Amino acid sequence: MSTNQYAAFYRINPATAAKAFQELVDEGLLYKRRGIGMFVSPGARERLRSQRRERFFADVVEPMVAEARAIGIPLREVIQWLEQREGEEER
């Protein structure tokens, strides 16, 4: 698939689409092969997953804690709920 197809599908400027792909190349998630196209780097999936793991507590858990505090749910209750989920998963 070409960047132009992405641009057409998402109705975005092709230069913007190309820049987005270039950023992925710069991050090493994609690599270019001259005259053929762009490919997903080996290990890209693993790297993305580890990046998201790193950000998980800051991006997901922190806001959840803040929200719980704001609406008055004690953290204890949240933990209990999580433990219950853990128990279900183990079964």
The footprint of another protein (CB under 8 A) covers: 4, 7-8, 10-16, 19
In whole angstroms, the minimum distance from the beta carbon of 44 to another protein comes to 24
Paired tokens of 84: 């219950």
**Which residues, other chains included, contact 31 with Cβ-Cβ below 8 Å and sequence gap of 6+?**
25, 38, 39, 41
In whole angstroms, the minimum distance from the beta carbon of 13 to another protein comes to 5
Q: Which of 28, 26, 6, 27 is nearest to 15 (CA)?
A: 6
8/82 with CB nearer another protein: 8
In whole angstroms, the minimum distance from the beta carbon of 14 to another protein comes to 6
19/49 with CB nearer another protein: 19
Residue 17's CB is within 10 A of a number of other CB atoms, namely 19
